[in-house]
Amino acid sequence: MMADTHSRSRFAFVALCLAALAVYPLAAGSYGLDLVTKIMVYAIFALSLELLVGATGLVCFGHAAFFGIGAYAAVLLAPGYEPVSLGWLLPASVGAAALYALFMGALSLRTQGVYFIMVTLAFAQMAYYVVHDTPLGGGTDGIYLDAKPVLAAGGNTLIDLDQPLAIYFFTLACLAAVFIFLAVLLRSRFGRALAGIKANEQRMRATGFSTYPYKLAAFVISGAIAGLAGFLFGVKDGYVNPELLSWHLSGAVLIMIILGGLGHLRGALIGAFAFALLQEFFKSEAIFGDFAKHWHLGLGLAIIASVALLPNGLVGLPALWRQRLLGKPVTGRGAPSAGDTP
Amino acid sequence: MDLATFLIQCLNSLQYGLLLFLVASGLTLIFGIMGVINLAHGSFYMIGAYMAYALAPVVGSTFGGGFFATLFVGLVLAVIFGYLLEWVFFSFLYEREHLQQVLMTYGLILVFEELRSLLVGDDVHGVQPPDFLAGTIPLGEMMTYPVYRLFISGVCLALALGMWFVFARTRLGMMIRAGSTNREMVQSLGIDIKFLYRVVFAAGVAVAVLAGMVAAPVSSVYPGMGNQVLIICFVVVVIGGIGSIRGALLAALLIGVVDTFGKVIFPQAAGVLVYVLMALILLWKPSGLFKAG
């Protein structure tokens, strides 16, 4: 019964987080609203990578490619000054990212381990140089989205993503939907197969699973969700540039999920918030004054401290505290199964 | 492209490739032998370049100067630095997952970059090559080639040979190779593996720092130079096969040629060529050109 209360308290934690995000706009100014929208977009992005890294054991170092393609598609497919319908722009952008993920996954899944990390980097860099060096997407200057998409039905505008509040709640809804989708997915037969691939791919193959289609499917789903995050980012800012596809962003999102704790969906959520809020904290001139421009130093030291003190990421923190206070041993250390989510 | 231009580009590719090899060899050693993915390796290169800029006046005033004195002082500092770094930050990481190491070394990059910014500032600096290497030699009728670039190639080649000698022909090299194959076994034979790792790490750092110091007069010194070289070095390591020095040398030369000639022949697509090369090689040989062993 222990496991039941655990999974219930985890569910309560995530539900509480989403509820807090839902009432947050009541207290927030425009800066805070924009910041949290951005963090939620990163959280979706981090969740997509968690599906590959945490659940399947495939470390992708080119995830920014899908994010960037989603963002670029949102801008390139909506030229002109007339608002485009969200109803087809969103699926089209996500589809574009998924298509590149299919291409990249089909080829790079032939390799393994560190080689896989580097091949995914290579394919992401190719996409980066395409938008960086060709006039297709405005080159290094990037391009602007002139009219943000709307969802209209019967002459009434239901969602107008030009409004900060609308994009906030739309992003929140996407975050909740992605989280629930992934939680259900990981509990399905498909998710169990991914957990098996992570634990021992040889054995999965020996028991008759053809692992390649499973890995490819996970890769495409992950790419599509990253594309969704990119779409939201492009629409939120109304501007895209090649940096959205750079390896720095691929690295940052990887850092987010490791910081949060691998093998848990809520780790991605916590990691995205922790990473972005730590950044904000060390950048804050109110606290650090002139030293705030050296915010990398504080962030770097915080990350090093987290590696030294939290072997299982931030997710492992409650278990660590329980152990300290009650003297109980930490259970379920190491790589947890997919059933451990959310 | 006439013959003299072609020759110059060949020399440039060789110099660039050898320099990449120098940085990447430390990375592949630390990676292959200790199993640590060290993202901070590019920072060592950056630190070396900034040392060449900042140490020269200091060494000049205390020891009466000299290019080689600066190199020597830098190298000694680098070995001490690498030794301490392994002791404080890396020694507890070996049993952890790879991704924890990635996180740690990412934190180190941020710290090093910011310390650099605090100590030296964010400006771009040029570094003068020493007077006796500042000249050029004529190539063909119109072209000349700077002596300093030849000097870089020479230093890199000498170091490559030295490394090969240590690994293949000495007792230390034997212990290191054994340690990379089976850590526990080597330890139970009475060899202090922790000390061995520390030495390898310090050597890897020293080589990267030296590469940065030697390269500074050609590349100039600027913020972010470490990250740029890091990614390309990972490409070298992976194309060559992780842990293989021979593979790293071949891959570095290959990338030197592709990148240098790419910039001349297809200036539009120069950046992407290296990655296309990597993707093609890894799709053909999924674990690099030379498997470590």
Partner-chain contact A119 B282, CB within 8 Å: yes
Picking from A53, A100, A129, A315 by the largest number of B CB atoms within 10 A of its own CB, the best residue to mutate is A129
H or E stretch at B36: none
Across chain B, what does the average pLDDT equal? 85
Could you give the CA distance from residue A166 to residue A182 in angstroms, rounded to a whole number? 24
The confidence score (pLDDT) of residue B61 equals 75
Angle ∠(A142,A146,A147) on CA atoms, nearest 5: 140
Could you give the CA distance from residue A76 to residue A240 in angstroms, rounded to a whole number? 10
- A304 min Cα distance to partner chain B (Å): 5
Residues of B in contact with A315 (CB under 8 A): none
Task: Kindly give the parts of chain A with pLDDT less than 50.
Answer: 1-2, 332-342
The confidence score (pLDDT) of residue A5 equals 67
H or E stretch at A188: none
For chain B, give every domain's residue range. 9-224
3-state secondary structure of B190: coil
Could you give the CA distance from residue B239 to residue B250 in angstroms, rounded to a whole number? 9
Partner-chain contact B118 A297, CB within 8 Å: yes
The confidence score (pLDDT) of residue B92 equals 80
For a pLDDT cut of 70, what percent of chain B falls above it? 97
Please list, residue by residue across A7-32, b when 16 or more beta carbons sit within 10 angstroms of its beta carbon and e when fewer do: eeebeeebeebbeebeeebeeeeeee
A250-296 pLDDT, tens digit per residue, is 989 998 999 998 888 999 999 999 999 998 888 887 777 777 788 88
Tell me the two tokens of residue B89. Answer: 């930050």
Could you give the CA distance from residue A59 to residue B16 in angstroms, rounded to a whole number? 30
Could you give the CA distance from residue B34 to residue B243 in angstroms, rounded to a whole number? 10
Angle ∠(B249,B251,A118) on CA atoms, nearest 5: 125
Q: Is the pLDDT of residue B64 over 70?
A: no
More confident site: B177 or A73? A73
Residues of A in contact with B93 (CB under 8 A): 307
Could you give the CA distance from residue A66 to residue A57 in angstroms, rounded to a whole number? 19
Question: Residue B266: is it exposed, middle or buried by C-beta count within 10 angstroms (0-12/13-18/19+)?
Answer: exposed
Could you give the CA distance from residue A176 to residue A182 in angstroms, rounded to a whole number? 10
The Cα-based distances of A166 to A148, A163, A180 in angstroms read 11, 5, 21
- Option in A111, A300, A302 nearest B108 (CB): A300
The residue in chain A having the minimum alpha-carbon distance to the alpha carbon of residue B114 is A297
Whether B272 has its CB under 8 Å from any CB of chain A: the answer is yes
- B52 min Cα distance to partner chain A (Å): 23
Phi, psi of B129, deg, nearest 5: -70, 155
Residues of A in contact with B100 (CB under 8 A): 258, 307, 311
- B188 min Cα distance to partner chain A (Å): 27
Distance of CA B125 to the CA centre of its chain: 20
More confident site: A131 or B4? A131
Cis peptide before B286 (omega within 30 of 0): no
Residues of A in contact with B104 (CB under 8 A): 303-304, 307-308
- Option in A134, A262, A300 nearest B107 (CB): A300
The residue in chain B having the minimum alpha-carbon distance to the alpha carbon of residue A54 is B99
Closest to B71 (Cα-Cα) out of B215, B167, B174, B195: B215
Closest to A142 (Cα-Cα) out of A74, A55, A191, A82: A74
Closest to A143 (Cα-Cα) out of A225, A80, A100: A80
Angle ∠(B150,B153,B159) on CA atoms, nearest 5: 140
Residues of A in contact with B267 (CB under 8 A): none
The confidence score (pLDDT) of residue A331 equals 52
Could you give the CA distance from residue A102 to residue A108 in angstroms, rounded to a whole number? 10
Give every CB contact of residue B3 below 8 A, 6+ residues apart in sequence.
B140
The confidence score (pLDDT) of residue A27 equals 86
Which residue type occupies B36?
Answer: V
CB A245 within 8 A of CB A67: yes
- A26 min Cα distance to partner chain B (Å): 35
Give every CB contact of residue A178 below 8 A, 6+ residues apart in sequence.
A44, A47, A48, A225, A228
Residue with tokens 């609308």: A166
Partner-chain contact A294 B118, CB within 8 Å: yes
Residues of A in contact with B117 (CB under 8 A): 294, 296
Q: Which of A1-5, B62-66, B71-75 has the lowest mean pLDDT?
A: A1-5
B34-48 pLDDT, tens digit per residue, is 878 888 899 999 999
The residue in chain B having the minimum alpha-carbon distance to the alpha carbon of residue A292 is B114
Q: Is the pLDDT of residue B13 over 80?
A: yes
Q: Is the pLDDT of residue B263 over 90?
A: no
Whether A115 has its CB under 8 Å from any CB of chain B: the answer is yes
Phi, psi of A143, deg, nearest 5: -135, 160
Could you give the CA distance from residue A72 to residue A240 in angstroms, rounded to a whole number? 6
For a pLDDT cut of 90, what percent of chain B falls above it? 21
Domain architecture of chain A: domains with CATH: 28-340 (1.10.3470)
3-state secondary structure of B125: strand
Whether B254 has its CB under 8 Å from any CB of chain A: the answer is no
Please list, residue by residue across A228-254, b when 16 or more beta carbons sit within 10 angstroms of its beta carbon and e when fewer do: bbbbbbbbbbbbbbbebbbbebbbbbb
The confidence score (pLDDT) of residue A328 equals 61
Give every CB contact of residue A23 below 8 A, 6+ residues apart in sequence.
none
B180-226 pLDDT, tens digit per residue, is 778 888 888 888 888 888 988 999 999 999 999 999 888 888 888 88
CB A252 within 8 A of CB A268: no
Picking from A304, A306, A315 by the largest number of B CB atoms within 10 A of its own CB, the best residue to mutate is A304
Residues of B in contact with A296 (CB under 8 A): 110-111, 113-114, 117
Residue with tokens 């020095």: B245
Residues of A in contact with B106 (CB under 8 A): 251, 255, 300, 303
Angle ∠(B166,B19,B104) on CA atoms, nearest 5: 80
Could you give the CA distance from residue B9 to residue B12 in angstroms, rounded to a whole number? 5
